[in-house]
Amino acid sequence: MTIARYDFASDNVAGAMPEVMEALLAANAGTASGYGSDHVSQAAGERIRAALDVDAEVKFMPSGTAANAFALTLLASPHEAVLAHEHAHICTDETGAPGFFGQGVGLIGLPGASGKIELSALEEALAQPDVSYRQPAAALSLTTATEYGTVYSEAALKALVDPVKAKGYGVHLDGARLANAVAAGFDLKAVGRLGVDLLVMGGTKAGSTPTEAVVFLNPEHRRRLDARIKHAGQLISKGRFLAAPWLGLLDENGGTGPWAARAAHANAMARKLADLMPYPIAHPVEANGIFVTMSDAALERLRGEGWFVYRFLDGSARFMCSWATTVEMVEALGAALAKIALDEPV
């Protein structure tokens, strides 16, 4: 029987990087206060503030879905909606969590190539009149690297953020793969310059154990924050174990450390796989994902060879690289794909 290999199914299938495990082991020593008031959480928060060069409150959550959904409750009321790309994770993969956490907060999907919101579509949505029978927009959610592995420039993000802020609306940045965007050249300090209100800074997909850092850049959102997080069921008693990984991910001096360095490796493995890919690539390879046009027969044969990958939202086959992807893994997959392509000409 062929044993399924999940090496390229997602970037969350890999284990945690050694720097994270070392930090967890160190944090395990002795006792500490609970619910995020401990010394480890404080130190991790300081590293995140230094890396972003911002004044912000930082809290840690074990789930990207909970982190995103909770953040959006601070930006939109139950009778309002959040603008996002139509294929954003909050729209397609979080099972209505923003509405659940936000007691009915809606989502408005916007089009755009390769996961990037089309500016004209955003402007049209912002120009819609307030009416009693439709949830009006109250915030914008952005993602970089996007669901299709593309990376916004700072200028492109500014073009989207500025008209939203001009309306007095809030901005959320889903940074599940922000490390890969940074490794691709995005300046992490741009987040503060852009006027983002809430950042979910991804650790899990970057090579940590489950942990997402929620960065509250807007002072207005810090009032009774612990009570709000507790009410949402996300205030973890042994908070140091959510915070500790960040002491392994980031440097003390504000550097992005292994968080970005290992993401750079994942990006490089994606480019190497793209070079070996015998099938048409559907989206620019800018981070750690490759999306290709494959027939159902070819994809099923690849799975039959033991390589499991997902058919993605736009119909492409998605291959994700991680911090733990090796050259040998890429070459083995490349050889399997080449063999299948020979039998089924592109």
Please write the tens of the pLDDT for every residue from 154-172.
999 999 999 999 999 999 9
Burial of 292 (0-12, 13-18, 19+ CB in 10 A): buried
Q: Which pLDDT band, with edges at 50, 70 and 90, does 1 fall under? A: low
Q: Which fold has domain 18-255?
A: Aspartate Aminotransferase; domain 2 (3.40.640)
Q: Which pLDDT band, with edges at 50, 70 and 90, does 4 fall under? A: confident
Share of the chain above pLDDT 70, in %: 99
User: Cα 241 vs. chain centroid, distance in angstroms?
Assistant: 20
Kindly state the DSSP code that residue 115 receives in the 8-state scheme: G
Kindly state the DSSP code that residue 60 receives in the 8-state scheme: E
Q: What dihedral angle (degrees, nearest 10) is formed by the CA atoms of 299, 305, 308, 313?
A: 0
* Nearest-angstrom CA–CA distance, 112 and 93: 18
Write out the two tokens for 20. Answer: 């994270």
Q: How many residues does the chain have?
A: 346
Contact 58, 213 (CB under 8 A): yes
**pLDDT tens track for 32-75:** 999 999 999 999 999 999 999 999 999 999 999 999 999 999 99
Q: Which of 224, 299, 255 is nearest to 53 (CA)?
A: 255
* Mean pLDDT in residue range 254-260: 97
Q: Which pLDDT band, with edges at 50, 70 and 90, does 125 fall under? A: very high
Q: Where are the domains of the chain?
A: 18-255, 258-343
Q: Sign (positive/negative) of CA torsion 46, 51, 54, 60? A: negative
pLDDT for 187: 98
Residue 264: pLDDT over 60: yes
Rg of the chain over CA atoms, in angstroms? 20
Share of the chain above pLDDT 90, in %: 98
Residue with the larger pLDDT of the pair 4 and 31: 31
* pTM score, whole prediction: 0.96
Range 258-343 has CATH code 3.40.720.10: no
Secondary structure of residue 305 in the 3-state scheme: coil
**pLDDT tens track for 181-240:** 999 999 999 999 999 999 999 999 999 999 999 999 999 999 999 999 999 999 999 999
pLDDT for 343: 84
Q: Which of 308, 341, 335, 320 is nearest to 269 (CA)?
A: 320
Q: Which residues contact 180 (CB under 8 A, 6 or more apart)?
A: 145, 149, 151, 206, 263, 266, 267, 287, 288
- What is the side-by-side order of every strand in the sheet holding 137-143? 57-61, 212-216, 198-202, 170-175, 137-143, 81-85, 106-110
pLDDT for 345: 59
Residue 346: pLDDT over 60: no
pLDDT for 208: 98
Report helix, strand and coil shares of the chain as percent, to nearest 5: 40, 15, 45
Q: Which residues contact 34 (CB under 8 A, 6 or more apart)?
A: 237, 238, 239
* Nearest-angstrom CA–CA distance, 34 and 235: 9
The 3-class SS string of 209-266 reads CCCEEEEECCHHHCCCHHHHHHHCCCCCCCCHHHHCHHHHHCCCCCCCHHHHHHHHHH
Burial of 3 (0-12, 13-18, 19+ CB in 10 A): exposed
